Amino acid sequence: MSAARGPAVRAAPYLEEPSASWREHLVGAALAVAFFAVLVATQRPMGVSRDESFYWHAASTYEGWFAGDDHTSRAAVDRYWNENHEHPALMKSLFALGAWLWRAPAGAPPPAPGSLRARLGPELFGMRVATMLFAAALAWMLYVVTARWYGRGAALVAVVAWTTLPRPFMHAHIACFDYAATAAWFATAYALYRAATSRAWAAASGVVFGFAAAVKFNVYFVPPTMFVWWLCTHFRAAPRGARARWALWRLPALTFASVAIVGNLIFVAHWPWLWFDTVRRLGGYLGFHLGHEYYTVLYLGTMYVRPPFPVSFPFVMTFLTTPPATLAAGLVGTGMVGAVIWRKWPGGVLAAWWARWRGGAAAAAGDAGAEARVAVGTDTRAGAGADAGGAPAGAASGGIGPGAYARDLCVLANLGVPILIIALPNTPIFGGTKHYMAAMPYFCILAGVAVQWLVRAGARYWPGLRAPRWRAAAVAAAAAFLAVPAVLDIARNYPYTLSYYNAFAGGNQGAVRADMQRHFWGYAEMGVLGWLNAHAAPGARVFFHNATQYAFMVYQREGLLRADLRFAATIEGSDVALYDVNKIFAETEYRIWEVYGTNAPVEVLAVDGMPLVDVYVRGAPAGARRDWAY
């Protein structure tokens, strides 16, 4: 009997019964809470990036509007909301709320040493809580959705893989939008996925989209992605007759009407800046993002300053900045699911066309065509015969249901689109990997799919894996196997995980050898604050290079930087200069040599030998010339 050989493994046996019971929510919530606790415990040493400092200032400004009495006049709106109006208000408002809740009341005594407030900091932690909550929420969603789609084992691996990606790990802490935007993307895509089969979700998808759009611009790419997904999963089903056609179209019509109307109403309503002069300001907002300026990026030895940017960028960066075991699992999962999708469509259709074109193979063509129609057609259950298995019975004619093809295509589409957007030669590619970070939860889902499938398939050959509890243990062990190298990588780079390169890049040193950008956000200056506190002369003026004056202010307010030190906007006006070691800034370092009369740093912050920040102290009197060897 087949049972003697273990459970049957079909062509795509990674599917399990869909479920999202209270157990899934409980486990998802537990993972979310654990992740949130880790983030809280590790946030303090994370440097203040340029963007975070801008948002800190914007949030502080908005706080004035919330605290004031006049919330509706144009003067009040313009006064407060003009600040950083190139990004919507939701996250910055949440940052402000968090700071307001966390900050000690005016006049309160300083926190006792060792107290929670002293350990977490007086204000910045409050600002960052919103991002950390979004991070926890995403872990929860990722677990529940993956469990529903592919099973609990895959879900566990997906969450472990996602939460231990070193670069996103940094983003999960800071008061910026990128991690929340990833969560918003995930939530919106899932809402639109469910909207294909549920009127309630169709109506609610506009609400989800509205709040997601209020996080960051990126989420505007989700509705087009999911519309194409919907077409791919429905268009072959076009039934005859007006009623049948309406039955097919009504849910997407409701969905996209909800997105367009409800979503955009929420978006406009949430942002006081858009309450006046709405069309012009909305145009300005969209124009800012559609015509975003280009920043210099160093990639494989070439400094790119304008298009065309390398198409390979997001692929190579993913290869070099994802922990290798996670990368391998994700690639295996992507290959498996991609192959299944390809066989269904367009591979099946192409095979049928090819057979027809060759002639003499009508039967084969007919069979393949029929399979393709089934695959993309009305009855996604039909895929169960070959490779679906996860579709609920009765998800037939008219509704797509959470069938295998629809689900797999949804995952692949949301993995591919963020990456492909960045791969376009005219898309600015500053910001390392953060601009296509929305793809990575899907990559981790596929890593989970791969691991779960391997364990189940392995049960055919290793009897020890046949018992469900041993299979579960094996999946858990595999999740730990993925987590250990990733956590080691995080530990080795912490708190500079935004500069992480994996072992295939040769580690951080390898990235320097390959002339890759080490960092981009002026966040690593945090690492030399201790040196400044210990060595800078009283009242010294410090040039913070790529870090902003707002970041300098935050460091002082947080008690991380001596209060007597002063910010210097120029090298000429400074006594101490920090230099963000980066080839694209080389002339800044030379300028420091010239102005300071020395070419020797007095401190170097390095991670595994990769210098991140150099500290210079003014030496010879200004204007004294030296020959710098050349």
Partner 1 sequence: MTPARAPGPGRLYVLVPAAFIALMGFASVGLGAYWASTAPPRADWVAAAAWVKARLAPGDVVGVAPWWADEARLALGDGPVVALPDLASEVAAGGLWRFKRLWLVSAPALGSGAAGVGDRMAALRPERADGAARFGAVRVRLFELPAPAVPFDFVAGVAAASVRVEKDGKPWAECARPLAGGLGFECTPPAGVKPVHWMKVERDLREMDDAPRACLSVHPWAGGASLVLRWAGVPIGRVLVLEGGLPLAALREIDKPAARPVALRVLVAGKDLGVVEFPVAPGWKRLRLDTTAAAAPGTTAEVTFRVAAPDIEWRFLCVAAHLEGAP
Three-state DSSP state, 156: helix
Three-state DSSP state, 359: coil
Q: CA nearest 213: which of 232, 238, 185, 175?
A: 185
Q: What is the DSSP letter of 260?
A: I
CA–CA gap between residue 11 and residue 7 (Å, rounded): 13
Q: CA nearest 229: which of 191, 261, 200, 181?
A: 191
Check binding of 606 to partner 1 (CB under 8 A).
Answer: yes
Residues 167 and 321 sit within 8 Å (Cβ to Cβ): yes
The phi and psi torsions of 400 (rounded to 5 degrees) equal -80, -35
Residue with Cβ nearer partner 1 (166 or 377): 166
What's the min distance (Å) between Cβ of 495 and partner 1?
Answer: 16
Check binding of 420 to partner 1 (CB under 8 A).
Answer: no
Hey, which residues between 543 and 582 contact partner 1 (CB under 8 A)?
A: 581
Check binding of 601 to partner 1 (CB under 8 A).
Answer: yes
Binding mask 328-367 for partner 1 (x = CB under 8 A): xx--x-----------------------------------
Hey, which residues between 36 and 75 contact partner 1 (CB under 8 A)?
A: none
**C-beta atoms surrounding 25 within 10 Å:** 14
Check binding of 495 to partner 1 (CB under 8 A).
Answer: no
CA–CA gap between residue 227 and residue 613 (Å, rounded): 46
Check binding of 476 to partner 1 (CB under 8 A).
Answer: no
Check binding of 318 to partner 1 (CB under 8 A).
Answer: no
Q: What is the total count of residues that contact partner 1 (CB under 8 A)? A: 73
Cα distances from 252 to residues 65, 191, 258, 409, in angstroms, run 39, 12, 9, 17
Binding mask 436-475 for partner 1 (x = CB under 8 A): --------------xx--x--xx-xx--------------
Residue with Cβ nearer partner 1 (2 or 72): 2
Residue with Cβ nearer partner 1 (118 or 300): 300
- Chain-centroid distance of CA 72 in Å reads 35
Check binding of 627 to partner 1 (CB under 8 A).
Answer: yes
Q: Which stretch binds partner 1 (CB under 8 A): 41-49, 97-105, 180-188, 300-308?
A: 300-308
Check binding of 305 to partner 1 (CB under 8 A).
Answer: yes
What's the min distance (Å) between Cβ of 98 and partner 1?
Answer: 35
Check binding of 482 to partner 1 (CB under 8 A).
Answer: yes
Which class for 621: exposed (0-12), middle (13-18), buried (19 or more C-beta within 10 A)? exposed
Check binding of 590 to partner 1 (CB under 8 A).
Answer: yes
What's the min distance (Å) between Cβ of 265 and partner 1?
Answer: 41
Residues 6+ positions from 252 with CB-CB distance below 8 Å: 195, 196, 202, 227, 230, 234
Check binding of 603 to partner 1 (CB under 8 A).
Answer: yes
Among 312, 513, 537, 569, binds partner 1 (CB under 8 A): 513
Check binding of 611 to partner 1 (CB under 8 A).
Answer: yes
